[in-house]
Amino acid sequence: MSVHNADVAAVFEEIADLLEIEGSNPFRIRAYRNAARTLRDLPREVGAMLGEGEDLTELPGIGDDLAAKIKEVVETGTATALEEHRKKVPKSLTELLRIPGIGPKRVKALYHDLGIRRLDQLQKAAQGGRVRSLKGFGEKTERYILNQLKERTGEQKRFQLAVATPYTEALIAYLKESPGVKQVVAAGSYRRAKETIGDLDLLVTAVPGSPVMDRFVSYPEVEEILVQGPTKASVRLACKLQVDVRVVPEDSYGAALQYFTGSKAHSVTLRQLAQQRGLKLNEYGLFKGDRSVAGATEESVYSAVGLPWIPPELRENRGEFDAARAGRLPALVELADLRGDLHAHTKATDGRNSMREMAEAARACGLEYLAITDHSRRLTMAKGLDPKRLFEQLEEIDRLNAMLSGITVLKGIEVDILEDGSLDLPDEDLCRLDLVVGAIHSHFRLSRQKQTERILRAMDHPCFTIFAHPSGRLINERAPYDVDMARLLRHARERGCFLEVNAHPVRLDLTDTDCRMAREEGVMLSIDSDAHSVFDLENLRYGVGQARRGWLEKKDILNTRTLRELRTLLKRTMVKT
């Protein structure tokens, strides 16, 4: 069975979680977490790299010990170190760490003082008022825990889009090798670029007699066969992702692709439009009585009901039909439209590559400019820059720009927005920069009014340029903080600053609906990678997918501008004092 990068990263993350609960050396814990991040961000499968004899110690943050453990996981599916730590600490305790605000110290207290190992035990203890009695908790924390557990009740297991992608791409490549196969395409929420997917739908066209379905259920990563037939099969992979494959005739391919892409609300409306014309639409085609009138392509299906083809990312029944009828469908932004990236980190703080390596990687991706926005001093865990180190970095940027061609490095900072809305560095230092990216990294649980006012005050700073990861959410890990997004967007428009679409797959923040609100308010957004390594630049495609779901066009995106146009826009954000 193939072991993917996400599988190895999951082993390292669990080791780090268990080490935290044990109270182990923080540098050792961080080494595992950094290695997990490196693996998730790799554009190539680490198993293939080992097969080709590549030296894994050349990867950022991977030494001999971690390289040996990666090899062990690829070959066996687990690590001896993980099994040893599981003997010391129940694996179920790591689930407690998934609750925002409950760190290793609190998990350790819950385990040792109350004997809590599982979420259901935690819920019972909190309902009985026993959690508040522990040091460092209190009634407010106990109530918060109960609310978080309530939100998780009945949650379906969903995979982040970027986690599902390598499994999807590997399986598609595997199926395409089957004799007689013509097309294999992913449909469903994966095709619509949703930030998470519940399961994976694949459509196949093949010549009669193709053994593609037998090949599918024999895939080495299949853990359980749920359904098996000549044209439909469902399996559960070892990673717990359910995959449904359907073989469809070529003359039904477009109708089936539309049907299985969804969303359900979009498909229901499309069928109603067909019915109004005396037609019947299903996954086999569009019919007038018993006669097929369309279905080989999606375009033919939409055309038959009087509509242009609607991009998959818009198919949520949120106004796309009215826009299509009126000829107002947006010309959605594409990855090739991006000319630069305005949020990236180096090893000067918590990144894993040098400034030169980041710039050269951005150039190799076809970008014309890259803003270096390392963290400011308050983020001590990230070795944030104080004024002296920032000044030294600006001089380094000048030297680098004098040597490089084909890429321009911009001077920036990801500055902490403090609780009172002030920024983490003096004005005289911020005003030297090309752009200032403001971000919240603390006090996530302020009230809606206080959090909103905090951000508005930060936006009013004369050097403020871009509000980074505007809701603060981490998908499947941390809920967004409570903020009046409509008010923030209106203020950004009035102030002339911008908001970010953070392309990191755990963030994808702004959400798709907030992206669309920004478009309607006339606020330009920046699609940024938030790269902490050269590999993270590949994540820009996920940010573009999120922007497309938000109906954004090239003109709505700040970093589709040329460098000259960008500099003009950035200067306008600098308020004269």
Same domain (yes/no): 180, 54:
no
**pLDDT > 70: percent of the chain:** 98
Tokens 């270096």 identify what position? 372
Q: How many CA atoms lie within 13 A of 42 on its CB side?
A: 24
DSSP string, 9-21: HHHHHHHHHHHHH
| Tokens linked to 42 | 């790799």
Question: Does 488 score more than 50 pLDDT?
Answer: yes
First to last CA, the chain: 63
DSSP state of 480: P
Average pLDDT, the chain: 93
Say if strands 242-247 and 199-206 run parallel, antiparallel, or are unpaired: parallel
d(CA 234, CA 25): 44
Same domain (yes/no): 319, 339:
no
Q: Which helix H or strand E contains 500, and what residues bound it? A: strand 498-502
Please identify, among 295, 325, 355, the residue that sits at the C-terminal boundary of a domain.
325
Residue that wins the pLDDT comparison between 344 and 61: 344
Please identify, among 103, 120, 152, the residue that sits at the C-terminal boundary of a domain.
152
Q: Environment class of residue 53 by beta-carbon count within 10 Å: exposed (0-12), middle (13-18) or buried (19+)?
A: exposed
Q: What is the CATH number of the domain that holds 163?
A: 3.30.460.10
Residue 350 included in any domain = yes
Q: How many CA atoms lie within 13 A of 227 on its CB side?
A: 11
Same domain (yes/no): 166, 33:
no
220, 293 in Cβ contact below 8 A? no
Task: Give Dmax (Cα) for the chain.
Answer: 77
The SS3 of residue 444 is coil
Angle at 546 between CA 543 and CA 547, to 5 degrees: 85
| Tokens linked to 464 | 């403020």
Q: How many separate domains does the chain show?
A: 4
Q: In angstroms, how far is CA 106 from the centroid of its own chain?
A: 28
Confidence category of residue 154, pLDDT binned at 50, 70, 90: low
Q: Which helix H or strand E contains 571, and what residues bound it? A: helix 563-572
Please identify, among 284, 304, 325, the residue that sits at the C-terminal boundary of a domain.
325
Confidence category of residue 577, pLDDT binned at 50, 70, 90: very low
**Residue type at 507 in one-letter notation:** R
Q: What is the CATH number of the domain that holds 294?
A: 3.30.210.10
Structural domain boundaries enclosing 144: 5-152
For residues 152-174, give the mean pLDDT: 86
348, 334 in Cβ contact below 8 A? no
Residue 20 included in any domain = yes
Q: Quick one: pLDDT at residue 517?
A: 97
Cis peptide before 210 (omega within 30 of 0): no
201, 187 in Cβ contact below 8 A? yes
Residue 471 included in any domain = yes
Q: What is the pTM of this model?
A: 0.86
For residues 1-5, give the mean pLDDT: 81
Residue 410 included in any domain = yes
* Dihedral angle sign, alpha carbons of residues 501, 507, 512, 514: negative
Q: Quick one: pLDDT at residue 270?
A: 97
Q: Which residues, 6+ apart, have CB-to-CB distance to 519 below 8 Å?
A: 550, 551, 552, 553, 556
d(CA 390, CA 431): 12
Q: Quick one: pLDDT at residue 575?
A: 60
Residue 330 included in any domain = no
Q: What is the pLDDT of residues 82-138, one digit of tens each?
A: 999 988 887 778 788 778 667 778 888 898 889 898 888 999 999 999 999 888 888
Q: What are phi and psi of 372, to 5 degrees?
A: -90, 115
Cα–Cα distances (Å) from 281 to 62, 216, 231, 271, 299, in that order, read: 54, 28, 20, 6, 14
For residues 147-159, give the mean pLDDT: 72
Three-class HEC string of 250-295? HHHHHHHHHHHHCCHHHHHHHHHHHHHCCCEEECCEEEECCEEEEC
Residue that wins the pLDDT comparison between 372 and 86: 372
Residue 577 included in any domain = no
The answer to which of 111-120, 186-195, 308-317 has the lowest mean pLDDT is: 111-120
Q: What is the pLDDT of residues 432-479, one digit of tens each?
A: 999 999 999 999 989 999 999 999 999 999 999 999 999 999 987 788
197: left (phi over 0), alpha (psi -120 to 50) or beta: beta
Same domain (yes/no): 313, 359:
no
Q: Quick one: pLDDT at residue 176?
A: 97
Tokens 């890259």 identify what position? 370
DSSP string, 343-412: EE--TTTT-SS-HHHHHHHHHHTT-SEEEE--BBTT-GGGT-B-HHHHHHHHHHHHHHHHH--S-EEEEE
To the nearest 5 percent, what fractions of the chain are helix, strand and coil? 50, 15, 35
Same domain (yes/no): 53, 193:
no
* Dihedral angle sign, alpha carbons of residues 426, 428, 431, 433: negative
The answer to which of 81-85, 146-150, 189-193, 529-533 has the lowest mean pLDDT is: 146-150
Q: What is the pLDDT of residues 268-280, one digit of tens each?
A: 999 999 999 999 9
Same domain (yes/no): 389, 374:
yes
DSSP state of 58: G
Residue 98 included in any domain = yes
Residue that wins the pLDDT comparison between 138 and 192: 192
